[in-house]
C-alpha cells in the first residue's frame, strides 16, 4: 500500500511527498479509510507510530473537500492534547501536511499570555489544537465557540486523565455538537479511559495496531544495577561513549532534573533540563537546541517529555526508574522513532527493584535476571530461552567489571504475548508536575 491509494487531493499528496513519506504506517493504513468514511475511531497507539498523520491527513482532506471560510472563534476541528509540547507538535503537523491548502489553524495552551492566541482565533480558524484548561478559559471568556465543531480529536487521552483533565473534558464534550465525528487515541487503555471513550464515541472502529510491548521490542533495553549514590558517576561514565550522541534522560522530580543537568554542564556536557517549573520559552528553547543537535543531553520529567517528537534520539536513560510502569513505555518510546532502532538504559538502585519488576510485568519482557546470584548466570553463559527470559549481554561494554553493576539486555521479541492493554486497570496517580 502507498499513499497514492488514498483519495487525497493533490495538495495533500504533495505535502506527503515533501515529508518524504512513502508507505503509510500501520495505524495510518488502518485508520485513514475509516476517518475518511466519517467513522468514529477508538485508537490504541503510542506517539511514534505516525498517529498524528493518521488523523491530520484525512481531516485536512475533509476540510479541502468541504471548503468554508474560516469563521472567527468557531473552529470546525478541535484537537485536544494533554501538554503544550504535544499541542505544538500536532499544530506543526497540521501546518506541514496542509501547507499546500488554504486553511487556517491555531494552537492554544496555558502558561503563556493569551493575547496572541485570542488574536489568531479572531482571524478565523478551521483547526484548533488546544490543551483542555486554556481552551475552557477561552470558551468562558467568549473567545471560542465550540458549536460548529465537526470533528473532535482526543490525543493521548490516558495522559489527559492522569493529569486530572476529566472534569474539563466533560465540559468540553458537553459544549461540542452531538452530531460530530470523534477520534480518540490513547497509548494505554485503563478502565477510566475506556469509559471515557464509551461515553464519547458512536459505533467506533477499533484500531489497535501497536500493542504496548511491540514498540518496546524494537528498542534495545539495558538495566544497570547501581547503588543510589553511584548514579551520577555511572551516568558520566556512560556519556564518555560518543555513541550516545542525542540523549534524553529522565528523572523522577523536577529538582533532580535540574541537578543532573547542572552537574553534566559542569563537566562540559551540553545539557539542559525541561520540566513544569520552567517557562514555556525556556522549555521551547531547550527543545529547539536539542532538536538541532546543539544540546547533547536533555533532562526531563515524565510530564515535560510527554509526546516529545524528536526523531534522532539515540539513547534514553532512566536516571530514575518511573514508579508508574506505563511511563517506562512512554519514556523509552522517545527513541527508536518511526522504525529506527534505539537504546534505553535504566539505572536501577536497590530501592527501585520493585519498580523494575512492575515494568517487566507490564511489558512482558524480563530485563533482569531472576537469579539472586547474577555471577553464576554470567559464568555459565547460558540461560533458558523460554517464557520471556533474558539474555546476559556478555561483555558489559560500559563496565569496569564491578560485580555490583551488571548489565543485562532484554530478549529480542518472539513468542511472548504483548500485555493486553484492556486487561489492565492501572490508574496512575495524579501527575506530579
Residue numbers at the binding site for ligand AMP (CB under 6 A): 21, 23-25, 28, 47-53, 309, 311, 337-338
> In terms of CB distance, is 24 or 428 closer to ligand AMP?
24
CB 297 within 8 A of CB 261: yes
> In terms of CB distance, is 77 or 224 closer to ligand AMP?
77
Closest CA to 271 of 254, 294, 292, 291: 294
Q: Which three cell numbers stand for residue 359?
A: 515494568
Q: Which three cell numbers stand for residue 427?
A: 490508574
For the CB of residue 402, give the shortest distance to ligand AMP in the complex, in Å.
38
Which residues are CB-contacts of 427 (< 8 A; sequence separation ≥ 6)? 161, 162, 190, 191, 192
For the CB of residue 411, give the shortest distance to ligand AMP in the complex, in Å.
26
> In terms of CB distance, is 19 or 71 closer to ligand AMP?
19
> In terms of CB distance, is 65 or 338 closer to ligand AMP?
338
* Gap between the Cα atoms of 8 and 100, Å rounded: 12
CB 112 within 8 A of CB 134: no
For the CB of residue 214, give the shortest distance to ligand AMP in the complex, in Å.
14
* Gap between the Cα atoms of 219 and 193, Å rounded: 27
> In terms of CB distance, is 26 or 374 closer to ligand AMP?
26
Instruction: Provide the sign of the torsion angle of the four alpha carbons 211, 19, 285, 81, taken in this order.
Output: negative
For the CB of residue 20, give the shortest distance to ligand AMP in the complex, in Å.
7
Which residues are CB-contacts of 89 (< 8 A; sequence separation ≥ 6)? 52, 307, 308, 309
For the CB of residue 313, give the shortest distance to ligand AMP in the complex, in Å.
11
For the CB of residue 348, give the shortest distance to ligand AMP in the complex, in Å.
28
SS3 breakdown of the chain: % helix, strand, coil, rounded to 5? 40, 15, 40
Residue with cell 495505524: 27
> In terms of CB distance, is 23 or 141 closer to ligand AMP?
23
> In terms of CB distance, is 51 or 134 closer to ligand AMP?
51
Phi-psi region of 339 (alpha: psi -120 to 50; beta: other; left: phi over 0): left
For the CB of residue 218, give the shortest distance to ligand AMP in the complex, in Å.
13
Q: What number of H helices and E strands is found in the chain? A: 17, 15
> In terms of CB distance, is 6 or 328 closer to ligand AMP?
6
Give me the half-sphere count of Cα atoms (radius 13 Å) on the Cβ side of residue 288: 7
> In terms of CB distance, is 339 or 354 closer to ligand AMP?
339
For the CB of residue 55, give the shortest distance to ligand AMP in the complex, in Å.
9
Closest CA to 89 of 40, 156, 150, 31: 156
Alpha carbon 35 to chain centroid, angstroms = 22
For the CB of residue 134, give the shortest distance to ligand AMP in the complex, in Å.
22
> How far are the Cα atoms of 145, 164, 248, 253, 318 from residue 301, in angstroms, in the given order?
34, 17, 10, 6, 10
CB-based burial label for 313 (10 Å; 0-12, 13-18, 19+): buried
For the CB of residue 7, give the shortest distance to ligand AMP in the complex, in Å.
17
For the CB of residue 365, give the shortest distance to ligand AMP in the complex, in Å.
22
> In terms of CB distance, is 146 or 160 closer to ligand AMP?
160
Give me the half-sphere count of Cα atoms (radius 13 Å) on the Cβ side of residue 262: 6
Beta strands in 131-169 (DSSP E): 151-154
> In terms of CB distance, is 93 or 182 closer to ligand AMP?
93
Amino acid at each position: 500500500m502507498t499513499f497514492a491509494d488514498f483519495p487525497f487531493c493533490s495538495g495533500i499528496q504533495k505535502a506527503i511527498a515533501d515529508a518524504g513519506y512513502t508507505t503509510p504506517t500501520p495505524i495510518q493504513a488502518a485508520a485513514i479509510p475509516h476517518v475518511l468514511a466519517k467513522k468514529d475511531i477508538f485508537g490504541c497507539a503510542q506517539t511514534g507510530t505516525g498517529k498524528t498523520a493518521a488523523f491530520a491527513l484525512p481531516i485536512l482532506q475533509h476540510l479541502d473537500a468541504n471548503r468554508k471560510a474560516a469563521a472567527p472563534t468557531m473552529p470546525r476541528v478541535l484537537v485536544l492534547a494533554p501538554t503544550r509540547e504535544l499541542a505544538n507538535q500536532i499544530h506543526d503537523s497540521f501546518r506541514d501536511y496542509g501547507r499546500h491548502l488554504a486553511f487556517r489553524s491555531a494552537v492554544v495552551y496555558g502558561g503563556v499570555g493569551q493575547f496572541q492566541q485570542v488574536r489568531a482565533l479572531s482571524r478565523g480558524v478551521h483547526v484548533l489544537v488546544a490543551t483542555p484548561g486554556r481552551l475552557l478559559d477561552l470558551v468562558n471568556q467568549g473567545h471560542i465557540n465550540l458549536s460548529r465543531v465537526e470533528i473532535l480529536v482526543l490525543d493521548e487521552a490516558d495522559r489527559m486523565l492522569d493529569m486530572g483533565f476529566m472534569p474539563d473534558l466533560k465540559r468540553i464534550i458537553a459544549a461540542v455538537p452531538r452530531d460530530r465525528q470523534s477520534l480518540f487515541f490513547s497509548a494505554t487503555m485503563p478502565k477510566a479511559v475506556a469509559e471515557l471513550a464509551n461515553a464519547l464515541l458512536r459505533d467506533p472502529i477499533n484500531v489497535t495496531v501497536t500493542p504496548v510491548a511491540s514498540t518496546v521490542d524494537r528498542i534495545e533495553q539495558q538495566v544497570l544495577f547501581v547503588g543510589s549514590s553511584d548514579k551520577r558517576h555511572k551516568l558520566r561514565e556512560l556519556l564518555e561513549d560518543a555513541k550516545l550522541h542525542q540523549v534524553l534522560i529522565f528523572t523522577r522530580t523536577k529538582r533532580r532534573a535540574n541537578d543532573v543537568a547542572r552537574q553534566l554542564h559542569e563537566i562540559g556536557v551540553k545539557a539542559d533540563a525541561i520540566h513544569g517549573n520552567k517557562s514555556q520559552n525556556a522549555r521551547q528553547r531547550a527543545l529547539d537546541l536539542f532538536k538541532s543537535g546543539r544540546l547533547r543531553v536533555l533532562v526531563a520529567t515524565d510530564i515535560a517529555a510527554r509526546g516529545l517528537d524528536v526523531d534522532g534520539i539515540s539513547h534514553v536513560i532512566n536516571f530514575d526508574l518511573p514508579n508508574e510502569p506505563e511511563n517506562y513505555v512512554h519514556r523509552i518510546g522517545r527513541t527508536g522513532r518511526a522504525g529506527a532502532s534505539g537504546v534505553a538504559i535504566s539505572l536501577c538502585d536497590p530501592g527501585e527493584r520493585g519498580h523494575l519488576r512492575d515494568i517487566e510485568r507490564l511489558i512482558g519482557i524480563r530485563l533482569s535476571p531472576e537469579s539472586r546470584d547474577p555471577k553464576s548466570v554470567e559464568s555459565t553463559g547460558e540461560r533458558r530461552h523460554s517464557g520471556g527470559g533474558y539474555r546476559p549481554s556478555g561483555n558489559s561494554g560500559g563496565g569496569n567489571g564491578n560485580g555490583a553493576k551488571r548489565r543485562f539486555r532484554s530478549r529480542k521479541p518472539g513468542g511472548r504475548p504483548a500485555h493486553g492493554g484492556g486487561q489492565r486497570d492501572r490508574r496512575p496517580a495524579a501527575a506530579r508536575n
